[in-house]
Every structure is written in structure tokens, then in C-alpha cells.
Amino acid sequence: MQEKYPQARTAAGSDRKDDRQDGRQPDRQAGNQTGRQAVRQSDRQAGRKEQTPSQGALLDQSTWAAPKKSLGQHFLRNPDICQRIADLALPHDEDQILEIGPGPGALTKVLERMPHAHLLLLEKDSHWARVRSEEGGPRTEVRCMDALQFPWEELEGAWKVVGNLPYNVASPLIWDIAARCHALERAVFMVQKEVGQRLAARPGTKDYGALSVWVQAHLVPHLDFVVKPGAFLPPPKVDSAVLSFVPRPLAERPVEAHRLARVLKICFQQRRKQLGGLLRKSGETALLARLEALGLPLTARPEELSVTDFLNLSETSPAASSRE
């Protein structure tokens, strides 16, 4: 499926490039460095036995399959965390809920007990898709597919989207959902803590980047709580964070989202450069003129501009002049 915003994931990648320069590890690397071998090694060093499903709440030994490193699987096993995530979705009897990556179903089973009209599960792993189909209730539908390939534009009505997202796809997946899921009413996602901090970051902070601006141009994020590695099997090497999102009013969202994606790609490839020099060097005379017309200082750096500044900078329609 062709991407609607071709610059989108490239712009998000510029954040990861800056991470390497800062000595931080991007979320994809963090996901790839985990797995059963790493768990065994850390357990041996700490004098612990290797964890098994029988030692973790909500994990069924009879249907167990080892987590796949290639899919970045870290299965949530703490019932209290599952309940807190489900509660943040604010479920009601008429709700349509979509869960991404249910795996062994720890969160799914909590959602099935809560008010809802329809529960749609997207699971890429064929084993867990089969198990969820066999164990699911009458209001549960399972699709064995990659959430990155899901046609978010085709959802009808109002939907709440939840999930414990694999570290290696969380950023591009939330980027897509923010822009393409027009039926979104509310979302609750668990991601790597560092990614969560970027999603909710404010201008002028080290975590503020292309991902922050893009997501906040479409949604209002709130970092709700942090989850320690012990809540998962196998435990990741970093903390996780749970965030909730609600859509921004239509009048505040990008009028020309493809232009915003392009501007973010240009600006955040060199986020510490002054915008005046950066745009001149890139030959972006139209953007430079727009920057001056908006009264934004040429000495400002990309990380200093607000979401509204980027929206105004990227748009040429009359709607841009109404933003404050």
C-alpha cells in the first residue's frame, strides 16, 4: 500500500539520527537488543531462573509460544497495568475498540470484560491470531495482519484504539494513525518511555522533534504513567510509558498535511541549525520568505518553534492565517 505522506517516516527518522549524535539509542535498536537470550543472560547474572509463562500473571501455559525477537514482542503480564490501560480508554457500551498486537491476550481479556459493542484485534503473529480467534468472545473480531498495513482511513463511526506497541514500529505506527485514522475518538498506547517523552514533548526541550510536532498537530497527548520492565515477559531493557490521546478539533489540524511532513523533514534533519541559514543552504526560498512573513526569527532553531508555528509555516491556504 502506497504511503499517503511519503516524507512522514523519513522525518521521524531524522529524530533517530539526532539520537545517535546525542549518544541515545533509537527505539528500533532498543527493540532489537531484547529477547530471550538477553533475558537468560541478565537472569544468570542476577542469580535468577529464566522466567516462564507460569511465573507471569495472565499468561496461559497451554497456548504459550516464545516471544519473537523479529517482531519486538514483550508480552504484558501485569493485571493491574492491563486494567489501568483499559480504564484509560474510557469504554462505554456502544464503543468500537481496536487493539493492536494482542499477543497472549492479557489486555484483550480485560477489554472483553469491559463495556463495548465491538472489539477488533490486529495481530501480525499467526500463532497468536489463531489463539485470539479461538478464545475470543462473540463481539471480538481478529485480523491476522501488520498494523502498519491497516487501512486506517476506512474505519467508520467512532473508534478507540489501544495497544502495547512493539518498540521497533511504535513511532511510524502512531505517525500513521494520527494522520490517517479520521474515525479516532481516543487512543491509549504503551511505548518505550523515551518515545513517550518525545510524543508529549514541548518546544525547546531535547525530546521535541518531528514526531512531537506531527503527532501534536493531529492529537493532544498525555503521558499517564511509566511501566517498569518487570511487567513484561521477556522484560525489556528500558522503561515503558502509557500515553492517552484525543484528536485536536478539525479547525486546528493540518490543512495540507503533506506540506507539514515536508517542512518537518527539511527542518529536523539539522535541528540545531538556525532556520535562516538552514533554509538558505537548502535552497528553500519560499519557506524562508514564509518564515519572515510570519515574523519568526531567522536565528530560531527548529526545536524552538511551536506546533502552531510549524503549521503556519507549512500552509499557504487562508486557514493558516487564522491559527493562533
The residue type of 70 is S
More confident residue, 9 or 273: 273
pLDDT tens for residues 74-114?
Answer: 888 899 999 999 999 999 999 999 999 998 999 999 999 99
Residue 100 CA from chain centroid, whole number: 11
Our CA angle for 270, 7, 144, nearest 5°, is 125
Q: In DSSP terms, which residues pair with 188 in a beta bridge?
A: 162, 244
* pLDDT at position 284 over 80: yes
Pairing of strands 75-76, 232-233: antiparallel
pLDDT tens for residues 160-208?
Answer: 999 999 888 999 999 999 999 999 999 999 999 999 999 999 999 999 9
Q: Domain extents for the chain?
A: 8-252, 257-317
User: Residue 58 in contact with residue 77, Cβ under 8 Å?
Assistant: yes
Of 169, 80, 71, 191, give the one whose Cα is nearest residue 128.
Answer: 71
The whole-number pLDDT of residue 68 equals: 56
The residue type of 128 is W
Q: Which CATH code is given to the segment(s) 257-317?
A: 1.10.8.100
Q: Give the relative orientation of helices 106-113 and 79-88 as an angle to the nearest 10 degrees.
A: 50
Mean pLDDT across the chain? 83
| Cis peptide leading into residue 221 (ω within 30°) | no
The answer to the question of whether 101 is labelled as a binding residue is: yes
The answer to the question of whether 116 is labelled as a binding residue is: no
The answer to the question of whether 123 is labelled as a binding residue is: yes
The residue type of 143 is R
Instruction: Retrieve residue 201's grid coordinates.
Output: 514533548
Considering the domain 8-252, what is its CATH architecture? 3-Layer(aba) Sandwich (3.40)
Sheet containing 96-100: order of strands:
140-144, 118-123, 96-100, 159-164, 184-192, 240-247, 219-227
The answer to the question of whether 141 is labelled as a binding residue is: no
Phi, psi of 60 (to 5 degrees): -90, 120
More confident residue, 59 or 269: 269
Least confident of 48-52, 162-166, 245-249, 271-275: 48-52
- Tell me whether the CATH fold assigned to 8-252 matches the one assigned to 257-317: no
The answer to the question of whether 118 is labelled as a binding residue is: no
The answer to the question of whether 76 is labelled as a binding residue is: yes
* pLDDT at position 58 over 80: no
Pairing of strands 140-144, 118-123: parallel
